Amino acid sequence: MGSASSTPTLASRVPDGWWMSHKRYRYYMLFAMASGILSLGSLVLLVAVSALSKGSQAWAGFLAMLGSPAGLLLSVVVLVPTCFFAVRWLRVGVKIPQVKLGPMPAPGAGMLYVAHFGLLIGVSLLVILLLSGVVA
Amino acid sequence: MKRLEPLWWLLFGAGGFVGAVLLPALYFMVAVGFPLGWFGDPVETFLRMRTLFANPVGQLVLVVGIALPFWHSAHHLRHFVIELGFPHSDRLVGSLLYALAGVGTLVTVGVVGAL
Amino acid sequence: MSEPRIVKFEVFRYSPEGAETGEGKWQTYEVPCPDDYVVLDALNHIKDYIDPTLSHRWSCRMGVCGSCGMMVNGTPNLTCKSFVRDLEHPIRVGPLANFPVVRDLVVELESFMDKLKSVKPWIIRKVEKDVKYGEYLQTPDELDSYRQFSMCINCCLCYAACPVMINEPDFIGPAAIALGFRYNQDSRDEGEAERYAVLAGEHGVWNCSYANECSEVCPKHVDPAAAVNREKLVSALQWLHILPKKGA
């Protein structure tokens, strides 16, 4: 490094518990934790598929377990962070693809917002329609 | 692990997208709607689910929907641990988390394949 | 105009002469502040009338030079843009976080300068075109693809806000990556392949966890987080050989 390094300096300090020091940081750390909770949701779905493969009795057992107060509490613990995650992910994700990739022109922010949230609404409707039996 | 950073990031991104777009509705139906009987009794939902996911397309959706979020969480938790002040254990923590996601993926493929 | 109001400031003090202890301390000053005072005015008042030993950097007083960045009540900000009337009192002014302190509010920027240079922030051509063939032309769309990233004033607020910087001081960081990205996006440039090793290397974009803090604090609305994460997308596709590297 340059000549200035001969001057004694005070090392930059790590603020203790920096993530609690600012509202935006706290919000970001919540987002990071919500990211982890996605996998908890995936695990529950994995158990569901496993029950499904074992037959109708195992499936009924799984539904009874998830329908119990503890099961419903688990669903709140999964769904609230997952929805929070989905909205922030799709919102901040809009910034990334606004770049020219090869011959394709860079998509605009407005178009990406519509695409991201359109996809969320479209896929959700499709899942609900298919699984509820409205569309066979 | 460091050489594969683009791969981890692509898996993280894909998992985040699946987690954001597919997981909320799928989880809501399977873990809330079905158990509370809003969409039919257990026998009805059993038959409906088996029919829906008896084909390769449905099974692919399940594998992608369940396994990719594991990769997403692993990558984000790895960065979370660094930010909590443990950058020097990154190699260990990262390898461990990605290994877990890998195991999760294999189990998912096995479980969905048994449908 | 109303009477100036007395405002308490807690200012970080450190002098290399007392370096053995390695400690800085907070010193309180009471400054008469007219309604239109910014934090920099108050610091200059302290230096001129209360305590000439206080050291701080500043130049233009209008958010252009980028030298008066400090932590104001815990948030990185240009002190020339921080109005005293908008802040909670007492106002705590410290040196930019994530940099070594040379004295009081003055930080060591040597490592930042090295990081800036490492991304080769200039137009690289394989073969330079002779001037007699005219200038390099660029469409408005081509200009827009990098324009905002060229507005950086190197004030380093983004480095002080970045949560990655705290734990990984070698991360080349938001401003340097945004500048490298700016040249990669420039239609006249052919240096993308040369910058790849640094931007997508060990201390490059993959360290970023997209907390977006850099963009939150940027006084010029450069949005470094967008640049860093677009660079991730581009270099991931290049890693997969889906996209070519310009100049490879």
Chain C contact for A20, CB < 8 A? no
Whether B36 is covered by a domain: the verdict is no
| Domain A21-132 sits in CATH 3.40.50.720 | no
Collapsing DSSP to helix, strand or coil, C72 comes out as strand
User: What is the pLDDT confidence band of residue C128, given thresholds at 50, 70 and 90?
Assistant: confident
B72: which 2 tokens? 């997403």
Q: Is the pLDDT of residue C70 over 60?
A: yes
User: Residues C146-156: what's their mean pLDDT?
Assistant: 96
The reply to whether B26 falls in a domain is no
User: Which residues make Cβ contacts (< 8 Å) with residue C135, sequence separation at least 6?
Assistant: none
Residue C242 DSSP label? S
Chosen from C202, C213, C231, C232 to mutate, greatest number of chain B CBs within 10 A: C232
Give the least confident one: A65-69, C59-63, C133-137.
C133-137
Locus of tokens 């809330």: B32
pLDDT at C242 over 50: yes
Confidence of residue A102 (pLDDT cuts 50, 70, 90): confident
Q: What percent of chain C has pLDDT over 90?
A: 88
Mean pLDDT, chain C, whole residue set: 94
| Res A1: pLDDT | 40
Predicted local confidence at residue A23, as pLDDT: 86
In the CATH scheme, what is the code of domain C5-107? 3.10.20.30
Q: Does the structure show a pLDDT above 90 at C23?
A: no
Q: Domain C110-239, what architecture?
A: Orthogonal Bundle (1.10)
- pLDDT attached to residue A20: 76
Cα–Cα distance measured from residue B52 to residue B43, given in angstroms and rounded to the nearest whole number: 14
Average pLDDT value for residue range C123-148? 92
Structure token pair of residue A78: 């999964």
Nearest alpha carbon to residue C222 among C118, C66, C17, C87: C66
Q: What are phi and psi of C24, to 5 degrees?
A: -105, 165
Q: Report whether B35 contacts A63 (CB < 8 A).
A: yes
**Alpha-helical runs (H) found in chain C:** 39-45, 110-118, 140-144, 157-161, 163-167, 173-185, 192-199, 213-217, 224-239
Per-residue burial over C148-181, b = 16 or more CB atoms within 10 Å of its CB, e = otherwise: bbeebbbbbbbbbbbbbbbbbbebbbbbbbbbbb
pLDDT recorded at residue B43 = 96
pLDDT score for A2:
43
B81 secondary structure, DSSP code: H
What is the rounded end-to-end Cα distance, in angstroms, of chain C? 64
Q: Any alpha helices (H) in chain A, and if so which ranges? A: 23-54, 56-67, 69-93, 109-132
- Model pLDDT for residues A7-27, shown as the tens digit of each residue: 677 877 656 567 777 888 889
Structural domain boundaries in chain A? 21-132
The mean per-residue pLDDT over the stretch C196-202 comes to 96
pLDDT at A3 over 50: no
Measured between CA atoms, the residue of chain A closest to residue C115 is A1
| pLDDT of amino acid C29 | 98
C26 is written with which tokens? 């907070």
Residue ranges for chain B with pLDDT beneath 50:
none
Q: Which residues of C touch A99 (CB under 8 A)?
A: 145, 185, 230, 233-234
Q: What is the pLDDT of residue A21?
A: 79
From the number of C-beta atoms within 10 Å of its C-beta (0-12, 13-18, 19+), residue A22 rates as middle
Judged against a pLDDT cut of 70, whether residue C109 lies above it is answered with yes
- List CB contacts (< 8 A) between C231 and chain B: none
Closest-CA distance, A19 to chain C, in angstroms, reads 8
Give the tokens for residue B104.
């999760």
**Residues paired with C7 in a beta bridge:** C31
- Predicted complex ipTM exceeds 0.85: yes
Is 70 exceeded by the pLDDT of residue A5?
no
DSSP label at C132? G
The distance of B2 to chain A (nearest Cα, Å) reads 21
Nearest to C19 among A8, A95, A101 (CB): A8
Q: Output the domain CATH number for residue B6.
A: 1.20.1300.10
Which residues constitute the domain of residue B76? 2-21+54-113
- Edge to edge, the sheet with strand C25-33 lists C25-33, C5-13, C91-94, C69-72, C75-78
Could you state, in order of their start, the residue ranges of all structural domains in chain C? 5-107, 110-239
